[in-house]
Amino acid sequence: MVFLVNLARVIFAPLVGEFITVFDVGEATAGAIATAVWFGSALPRLPAGWLLTRVPRHRVILGTGLVLTGASAFTATADTVLTLAAGALLMGLSSGVYFVAANPLVSELYPQDVGRAMGIHGMASQVAAVIAAPLVTLALVYSWRVAFVCIGVAAFVVTVALFVTARRTDLPTAGADDRDLLAGIKREWRLIVVGVVILGTTGFVWQGLFNFYELYMRTKGLSPAMAKNTLTVVFAAGVPAFFVSGRLADRLPHVPYLLGIVATFAACVFLLTTTTGFLALFVVTAAIGYVIHSLFPAMDTFLLDTMPDETRGSAYAAYSTGMMFSQAGGSGTVGTLVERGIAYDTVFAGFALCLVGIVAVLGALRLLGRLPGTAGGSVVADRLGERESDCD
């Protein structure tokens, strides 16, 4: 299921060039279509958090499968830019609800190995990103619509299989006490803000980069076919990254590890803007893919391993909502800047420098003990203090 919901999000990136041709639109409009799927992924996350205080997680996940089935069929029939954007929004809705429900469920299924479990779950998601460009290449032999038909049919089959599996499984009840969305958000607001700042800003850059990666690589002198397949490289590098980073997240201090990943990603993006030649671009592309995909399991492990059972679902939904809204505008922003005549190299170099600034600020706050999980600002310490007060 995670393979399909992520495929529904990333399938639009290798189709940007096709949409420009078929619908006769510019980069800004094509970027807005790609952005629509990510806004769609952001919109339902907080309502889904409220729903999870009343409905078991696995039932919500089953509902996302049905939504994805219908949304894929609708997108496959789109004949205008407006209907295509609406289809993208609907496909994003299914992924947004899925991740809010499924990530806490996965962490609760394996409470002793949260990082490993999130890494494996992320690897399945990442395989979808790897095959997105080859799938589009194959579909374009007939029509871009074939890709969405395939997603819809597969989503229906997997939803039925998941329904049968869930009926035969003893599912965890760790979130049974999470029944107040606002209380959960209030209790964990500092963790939520840190997560949104780190992943929201980095994700904004990543959204803008990967949705225009094919067109960007063409400006570097690569042929259209080679440029399209660089997306395969960037996503393929992420498959081992999820597994390795998940294991490391179980062993390393969370915040330093996260900031190290963001700083490395910024350095790689800046290096990309100065790189030319197929071999060099291939190496830097692989490095970017590995580093950025290391961030996702590390962040989920940090949050889901730190949040207690009674607030995990609610707080994670709030974080997920803020993080997605923060990053969703990346594609539209890049498309608009490029259409106004600013070079891709200039746009992405500026983004990289902004990320360096954010890492510097967060690093300074950590040294001062002002971030959750660090001395003087730790959520764990706060809870211990609350217990001592209760005992007094």
- 220-232 pLDDT, tens per residue? 999 888 887 787 8
Spans in the chain with pLDDT lower than 70: 174-178, 373-392
Spatial contact of 40 and 89, defined as CB atoms under 8 Å apart: yes
Give how far the C-alpha of residue 327 lies from the chain's centroid of Cα atoms, to the nearest Å: 9
148: nearest Cα among 159, 131, 135: 135
CA distance 192 to 1: 26
Spatial contact of 188 and 379, defined as CB atoms under 8 Å apart: yes
Q: Name the residue range of residue 386's domain.
A: 2-391
Rounded-to-10 torsion of CA 174, 179, 182, 188: -20
CATH of the domain at 65: 1.20.1250.20
Spatial contact of 344 and 155, defined as CB atoms under 8 Å apart: no
- Hey, CA dihedral for 68, 70, 73, 78, is it positive or negative? negative
Spatial contact of 4 and 68, defined as CB atoms under 8 Å apart: yes
* pLDDT score of 228: 77
3-state SS, residue 307: coil
Spatial contact of 262 and 202, defined as CB atoms under 8 Å apart: yes
CA distance 238 to 365: 30
Sequence-distant (6+) residues with CB within 8 A of 381 are 375
* pLDDT score of 392: 38
Cα→Cα distances 211→27, 35, 85, 342, 388, Å = 11, 9, 15, 17, 50
Phi, psi of 277 (to 5 degrees): 90, 140
3-state SS, residue 109: helix
* pLDDT score of 57: 86
* pLDDT score of 307: 87
CA distance 303 to 335: 32
Give how far the C-alpha of residue 45 lies from the chain's centroid of Cα atoms, to the nearest Å: 13
- The domain total for the chain is 1
**Rg (the chain; Cα; Å):** 20
* pLDDT score of 168: 87
* pLDDT score of 372: 76
3-state SS, residue 99: helix
